[in-house]
Structure 1
Amino acid sequence: MQKNQHPLTKLNIFSLKGVQMRTFHITWITFFFCFFGWFGAAPLMPMIRDQLNLSKSEVGNIIIASVSATIIARLLIGKLCDTLGPRLTYTILLIVGAFPVMLIGLSNDYTSFLLFRFLIGIVGASFVITQFHTSMMFAPNIVGTANAVTGGWGNLGGGVTNLVMPLIAAGFAAMGFVSEADSWRLAMVVPGIILLIMAFVYYRYTTDTPAGNFRDVEKTNISTEQKKHKGSLTDTLRDYRVWVLTLAYAACFGIEITVDNVAAMFFIDRFGTSIIMAGAMAGIFGGMNLFARALGGIVSDRVGEKFGMKGKGTLLGLLLILEGIGIALFAASGTLFFAVVSMLIFALFLKMANGCTYGIVPFINKNNIGVVSGVVGAGGNIGAMLVGFLFKSENLTYAEAFQYIGLGVVLIGLLVVVTKFHPKPATQHNIEANELDFQRS
Structure 2
Amino acid sequence: MAANTLKPLDKLNIFSARGIQMRTFHITWLTFFVCFFGWFGIAPLMPIVREQLHLTKAQVGNITIASVSATIIARLIIGRLCDTLGPRLSYTILLLIGAVPVIGIGLANSYESFLIFRLIIGVIGASFVITQFHTSVMFAPTVVGTANAVAGGWGNLGGGVTNIVMPLIAAAFVGLGYTGTGDSWRYAMIVPGALLLVMAFVYYKFTKDTPAGNYKEIQRVAKEKKKGTFIIALKDYRTWVLAFSYAACFGIEITVDNVAATYFVDNFKTSIILAGTLAGIFGFMNLFARALGGIFSDKIGKIYGLRGKGLLLAGFLVLEGLGIILFAKAGNLPMAIASMLLFALFLKMANGGTYSIVPFINKEAIGSVSGIVGAGGNIGAMLIGFLFKSENITYAQAFFYIGIGVAIVGGIVMLVHLPKVKAKESVVIMEEAAAARA
Tell me how far apart the structure 1 counterparts of residues 324 and 433 of structure 2 sit (CA, whole Å): 43
Listed one character per residue, the Cα deviations across residues 53-87 of structure 1 (whole Å, up to 9, x for unaligned) are 00000000000000000000000000000000000
TM-score (norm 1): 0.96
Q: Which residue of 1 aligns with 2:330?
A: 333
Tell me how far apart the structure 1 counterparts of residues 429 and 114 of structure 2 sit (CA, whole Å): 51
What does residue range 267-306 of structure 1 map to in structure 2 within 5 Å?
Answer: 267-306=264-303
Tell me how far apart the structure 2 counterparts of residues 244 and 78 of structure 1 sit (CA, whole Å): 18
Q: Which residue of 1 aligns with 2:313?
A: 316
Q: CA deviation at 1:240?
A: 1.3
Unmatched segments (≥5 aa) in structure 1: none
Considering only aligned residues, what root-mean-square deviation do their CA atoms show, in Å?
2.0
What does residue range 326-405 of structure 1 map to in structure 2 within 5 Å?
Answer: 326-405=323-402
Tell me how far apart the structure 2 counterparts of residues 269 and 259 of structure 1 sit (CA, whole Å): 14
The 8 Å contact of residues 305 and 421 in structure 2, kept in 1 or not, is answered as no
Tell me how far apart the structure 2 counterparts of residues 433 and 313 of structure 1 sit (CA, whole Å): 17
What does residue range 400-415 of structure 1 map to in structure 2 within 5 Å?
Answer: 400-415=397-412
**Distance verdict in 2 for CA 1:394–1:21, change over 3 Å:** same
Is 1:432 matched with 2:433? no
Tell me how far apart the structure 1 counterparts of residues 96 and 235 of structure 2 sit (CA, whole Å): 34
Tell me how far apart the structure 2 counterparts of residues 206 and 251 of structure 1 sit (CA, whole Å): 32
The residue type paired with residue 135 of structure 1 is S
**Distance verdict in 2 for CA 1:438–1:116, change over 3 Å:** closer
Q: Which residue of 2 aligns with 1:29?
A: 30
Is 1:105 matched with 2:101? no
> How many residues are matched?
435
Listed one character per residue, the Cα deviations across residues 376-402 of structure 1 (whole Å, up to 9, x for unaligned) are 000000000000000000000000000
Q: CA deviation at 1:124?
A: 0.4
Q: CA deviation at 1:422?
A: 1.9
**Distance verdict in 2 for CA 1:307–1:225, change over 3 Å:** farther
The 8 Å contact of residues 364 and 423 in structure 1, kept in 2 or not, is answered as no
**Distance verdict in 2 for CA 1:184–1:363, change over 3 Å:** same
The 8 Å contact of residues 149 and 294 in structure 1, kept in 2 or not, is answered as yes
Q: Which residue of 1 aligns with 2:72?
A: 71
What does residue range 243-258 of structure 1 map to in structure 2 within 5 Å?
Answer: 243-258=240-255
What SS does the aligned partner of 1:381 have?
helix
Q: CA deviation at 1:226?
A: 8.8
Tell me how far apart the structure 1 counterparts of residues 227 and 249 of structure 2 sit (CA, whole Å): 29
The 8 Å contact of residues 231 and 367 in structure 1, kept in 2 or not, is answered as no
What does residue range 181-260 of structure 1 map to in structure 2 within 5 Å?
Answer: 181-218=182-219, 223-224=220-221, 228=225, 231-260=228-257
Q: Which residue of 1 aligns with 2:415?
A: 418
**Distance verdict in 2 for CA 1:433–1:351, change over 3 Å:** closer
The 8 Å contact of residues 366 and 430 in structure 1, kept in 2 or not, is answered as no
Listed one character per residue, the Cα deviations across residues 133-160 of structure 1 (whole Å, up to 9, x for unaligned) are 0000001110000000000000000000
Listed one character per residue, the Cα deviations across residues 196-223 of structure 1 (whole Å, up to 9, x for unaligned) are 00000000000000000001012xxxx2
The residue type paired with residue 354 of structure 2 is T
Q: CA deviation at 1:366?
A: 1.3
Listed one character per residue, the Cα deviations across residues 104-151 of structure 1 (whole Å, up to 9, x for unaligned) are 000000000000000000000000000000000001110000000000
The 8 Å contact of residues 319 and 407 in structure 2, kept in 1 or not, is answered as yes
What SS does the aligned partner of 1:181 have?
helix
The residue type paired with residue 253 of structure 2 is E
Q: Which residue of 2 aligns with 1:174?
A: 175
Moved more, 428-437 or 3-12: 428-437
Listed one character per residue, the Cα deviations across residues 145-192 of structure 1 (whole Å, up to 9, x for unaligned) are 000000000000000000000000000000001111100000000000
The residue type paired with residue 37 of structure 2 is F
Percent identical among aligned pairs is: 66
Q: CA deviation at 1:227?
A: 6.5
**Distance verdict in 2 for CA 1:437–1:181, change over 3 Å:** closer
TM-score (norm 2): 0.96
The 8 Å contact of residues 9 and 438 in structure 1, kept in 2 or not, is answered as no
The 8 Å contact of residues 8 and 139 in structure 1, kept in 2 or not, is answered as yes
Q: CA deviation at 1:232?
A: 2.0
Tell me how far apart the structure 1 counterparts of residues 433 and 51 of structure 2 sit (CA, whole Å): 59
**Distance verdict in 2 for CA 1:229–1:113, change over 3 Å:** closer
Q: CA deviation at 1:321?
A: 0.2
Is 1:59 matched with 2:56? no
Tell me how far apart the structure 2 counterparts of residues 173 and 124 of structure 1 sit (CA, whole Å): 29
The 8 Å contact of residues 226 and 367 in structure 1, kept in 2 or not, is answered as no
The residue type paired with residue 79 of structure 2 is G
What SS does the aligned partner of 2:296 have?
helix
